[in-house]
Amino acid sequence: MKILENILLATDLFPSSKNVVGNAIALAKAFHSRVTVFHVLPENIGNDKAKKLLEETVKGHLTDINARINKEGVKTTEPLVEWGDHCEKIVAAGKRLNVNLIVIGSGETEKGQKFSLGTTAEKVIKLSAQPVFVVKPEEALTVKTILCPVDFSEQSRRALKDAIIFARRFEAELIILSVYKPITSSTFSFKYDWEEENSRIAFNHIAQFNEFLKGFNLRDVNWKKEVRRGKPETEILAEISESNIGLLIMGTTGRSGLSKMMIGSVTEKVIREVPCTFITTKTQDVIQLQLENRIKDIESHYHIAVQLMKDGFYAESIAEFETCLKINDMHVPAIHGIVKVYDKLENQEMADKYRKLAREVLRRIWDSKIEDEIRKYYSY
């Protein structure tokens, strides 16, 4: 089972890239992903000898990075080096390799700059259909609290689905934030007490928020919802600071419905100032469930089923447990697994059905053991 199969690690080989590699390793270990290390060389070098020497040197560095990743138990592919425009080549490689996620550094921070987003990272976010994971300098991936802002759009729906899986895998708290904009006296040219109208706006917004959340499986997730009042970009950044957010996951374009060249004004303002590592999603989910058909042994199916249950893929989990029972109809752990899933789904009828089946199987196993003991006794 793979839900984040391929990661493209775009490295600039600057000093901060070591931390980007560390983040990619942590992600790959959490999701059992395969990593492709990628570097783009500038196309304006005219001397062939210099180009050859530079390419050989870079390939050596990428081989060292691969070795570091492999040492952590993470699988890699052959490192890739290409010549051309950094942003265009990274985006094209992500599409060509059909990766789930592009991992890139936010750029080198200059002295006096607290937070900044490099032009390469920003352009990749704008151009890429694949989700982009942007790593802040010197920030290890220790995900304890995840923030996912939502505006009820399809893009934020996609981002929240991914955020829920990340929260499960990293056993992190998930904060789901929605911001509504009140009417202020400066909005119009005349004076009026808008508090009553703003109370109505808040009430309707919260109702819409609650309805939106009904479409998500949040069982076994440590989560809470937050509603803030004000400008979305300001309130998102405030929430990040106040709640010590370690990872921000948000959709791009939001309600604007702009082309893929745009990332939405709110997202753009946030990612330029955000102090933590973040993921942006656009038209493709980070998490894409892929089940392997080649698996034959019962224990592999069982472990996949357990992980699917932990990740909240309940229908798929039941299917894997049932595959175990097709291999061995007396596999009690698989039956108990199905019971747990139906308990989570609050389907008492089906849970009781499989509890009864488990008792019957255990009785049959017990009777069989007694019969074997009797046969051994009377065989002498």
Task: Please report whether residue 231 resides in a domain.
Answer: no
Task: Please report whether residue 240 resides in a domain.
Answer: no
Task: Please report whether residue 24 resides in a domain.
Answer: yes
Residue 2's domain is classified under what CATH number? 3.40.50.620
The pLDDT value given to residue 255: 43
* Antiparallel, parallel or unpaired: β 277-281 and 132-135: antiparallel
- The overall average pLDDT reported for the chain is 85
> CB 241: neighbour CB atoms within 10 A?
12
Residue 342's domain is classified under what CATH number? 1.25.40.10
Task: Please report whether residue 30 resides in a domain.
Answer: yes
Task: Please report whether residue 203 resides in a domain.
Answer: no
Task: Please report whether residue 166 resides in a domain.
Answer: no
pLDDT beyond 90 at 222: yes
Q: Which domain holds residue 49?
A: 1-139
| Last residue of one domain, picked from the residues 139, 168, 191 | 139
Mean pLDDT to the nearest integer, 40-53? 85
Report how far apart, in Å, the C-alpha atoms of 200 and of each of 103, 182, 194, 197 are.
Answer: 42, 10, 10, 5
Q: Which residue has the higher pLDDT, 3 or 203?
A: 203
Mean pLDDT to the nearest integer, 62-85? 96
**Pairwise CA distance, residues 210 & 286, whole Å:** 24
Three-state SS for 227-252 is: EEECCHHHHHHHHHHHCCCCEEEEEC
**Pairwise CA distance, residues 232 & 8, whole Å:** 31
* Torsion-angle region of 152 (φ positive above 0: left; ψ -120 to 50: alpha; else: beta): left
Is the Cβ–Cβ distance between 245 and 175 less than 8 Å?
Answer: yes
Phi, psi of 175 (to 5 degrees): -105, 120
pLDDT tens-place string over residues 111-155: 555 566 778 888 998 888 889 999 987 777 888 999 999 999 888
The pLDDT value given to residue 179: 94
Least confident of 11-20, 114-123, 169-178, 213-222: 114-123
Q: How many domains does the chain have?
A: 2
pLDDT tens-place string over residues 233-279: 999 999 999 999 999 999 886 444 333 434 567 877 888 888 888 89
The pLDDT value given to residue 264: 61
The residues, ordered by sequence, that sit 6+ positions from 34 with a Cβ below 8 Å of its Cβ are 5, 6, 7, 28, 74, 75, 76, 77
The pLDDT value given to residue 190: 59
| Last residue of one domain, picked from the residues 139, 174, 209 | 139
**Pairwise CA distance, residues 220 & 317, whole Å:** 15
Name the 3-class secondary structure at 83.
strand
The pLDDT value given to residue 380: 41
The closest of 46, 39, 33 to 63, measured between CA atoms, is: 39
Task: Please report whether residue 83 resides in a domain.
Answer: yes
Least confident of 10-19, 170-179, 252-261, 343-352: 252-261
Is the Cβ–Cβ distance between 269 and 177 less than 8 Å?
Answer: no
Task: Please report whether residue 211 resides in a domain.
Answer: no
pLDDT tens-place string over residues 156-184: 998 999 999 999 999 999 999 999 988 77
The dihedral over CA atoms of 366, 368, 374, 378, expressed in degrees to the nearest 10, equals -170
Is the Cβ–Cβ distance between 116 and 105 less than 8 Å?
Answer: no
Phi, psi of 53 (to 5 degrees): -65, -45
**Pairwise CA distance, residues 41 & 81, whole Å:** 7
Q: Which residue has the higher pLDDT, 265 or 333?
A: 333
